[in-house]
Structure 1
């Protein structure tokens, strides 16, 4: 019996010495990233269909480079109020955050696009009226109030570091809206910086500067969503903001 025990112990010791990676690489042992937001983290129009998040979207690229498990909860079309409501009421989101080691938030672009399109429709080509309506609608929007409350809700569930993406210019250089967006986005994006300064362990990923005027490479033609190259850029600035690069 003693000889049997010694033999079994030796086998266990040898196994632990020769195959530690089998345990270290167990997916459940990895830290996790929970990605929240809209169609950008979802990776809209990059997969075979838009039924599930694209594996080339930036959360999964961060997961690959940072050796993280990824829970991608991006929902196409969502505005800031919808994400906030989900965090307050949906147990799937709340439980995911309870186990998060890192959190990414990409929200607000659809709010701002809705404002831009409404101002354009109401002004009917009158540029002066368009600018007035745009500024009025932006000043009365609750997008940053919603995002601030979203961060507070996340903080009530986890103390994980949060990377908050600002808004890139989604319009190609040959689209007149490119220059309209460029005129207002720097001021709008100051709101993301203000939010980051207001909370602990919240870091801004500057998508606006990272995309610059390279929409031909980073934004799908005839679309407003990132290409695979654009998603890679978003992953890079996210890794950098979280200190995972």
Structure 2
């Protein structure tokens, strides 16, 4: 199955899940909220994709630190989808209000949609550059909306390269686009806000796609999710 097929498949899913929900008040105790797309959700790591996987990195962070976790990752979501949810969805807004920590990994599907529209590889860098104002504008608004609801520490994940090393020229081209165009913009947005930390997924996955990315897929393996959890913990300053 191709890279683009997974992008289309992800749009079929729109469910969220709670971890260890308090039956009296579902918002009374939330240590960490995971916001994002299928990576946050832990796509393709369980027996089905009906609920977020226990192997998704927010749960791995929570398991290690003994946190209550609410994984609100939704496969197929773009920055525009998440922005709308944070503005208008009461579950998202209340979860953010009660969180001590927030992970944010979004924008991958913005990139996938752009790739889908590019008929020739040589067009891709130009199309990515033209897409970036919308992606960065939405990401900036997402963090701005979060900050109006909460002063929780946010860890913002940059993009890893999902292409296997032997998948050329896409692996090399993706490295160039991510390192020169996309991830520097993500870092510059984080710098604008207090208590927003970067988790460098790009460097953590560097040339290790065979171990950290599922074969024939673009999503992390269990080992890849563990790496995302570890860099998230480090960015959040969680020592447990």
Same fold by TM-score greater than 0.5: yes
1:133-212 correspondence runs (5 A): 133-141=123-131, 142-176=134-168, 177-187=170-180, 188-212=182-206
Q: Judge conservation of contact 2:43–2:75 (CA < 8 Å) in 1.
A: yes
Can you give the 5+ residue segments of structure 1 that lack an aligned partner in the other structure? Answer: 1-27, 124-129
**Structure 1 equivalent of residue 116 of structure 2:** 117
CA–CA distance in structure 2, aligned partners of residues 94 and 31 of structure 1: 13
**Structure 2 equivalent of residue 6 of structure 1:** none
RMSD of aligned residue pairs (Cα, Å):
1.6
Q: The residue matched to 1:51 in structure 2 has which SS?
A: coil
1:216 aligns with 2:206: no
* The 10-residue stretch of structure 1 (134-143 or 41-50) with the greater mean CA deviation from structure 2: 134-143
* The 10-residue stretch of structure 1 (76-85 or 176-185) with the greater mean CA deviation from structure 2: 176-185
CA–CA distance in structure 2, aligned partners of residues 167 and 43 of structure 1: 15
CA–CA distance in structure 2, aligned partners of residues 175 and 72 of structure 1: 32
Q: Judge conservation of contact 1:30–1:68 (CA < 8 Å) in 2.
A: no
Task: State TM-score, norm by structure 1.
Answer: 0.82
- Give the number of the structure whose alpha-carbon radius of gyration is greater: 1
**1:31 and 1:244, CA in 2 relative to 1: closer, same or farther beyond 3 A?**
farther
Task: State TM-score, norm by structure 2.
Answer: 0.84
Task: Spell out structure 1 runs of 4+ moving beyond 4 A.
Answer: 28-31
Deviation at 1:29, TM superposition (A): 8.5
Deviation per residue, 1:194-214 (Å, 9 max, x gap): 011100000000000000010
**Structure 1 equivalent of residue 230 of structure 2:** 236
Number of residue pairs matched by the alignment: 210
Can you give the 5+ residue segments of structure 2 that lack an aligned partner in the other structure? Answer: 1-26
CA–CA distance in structure 2, aligned partners of residues 116 and 204 of structure 1: 25
CA–CA distance in structure 1, aligned partners of residues 44 and 217 of structure 2: 9
**Structure 2 equivalent of residue 35 of structure 1:** 34
Q: Judge conservation of contact 2:28–2:98 (CA < 8 Å) in 1.
A: no
CA–CA distance in structure 2, aligned partners of residues 88 and 65 of structure 1: 31
Q: The residue matched to 1:140 in structure 2 has which SS?
A: helix
From 204, 215, 220, the counterpart of 1:226: 220
Q: Judge conservation of contact 1:168–1:207 (CA < 8 Å) in 2.
A: yes
**1:82 and 1:156, CA in 2 relative to 1: closer, same or farther beyond 3 A?**
same
Q: Judge conservation of contact 2:30–2:98 (CA < 8 Å) in 1.
A: no
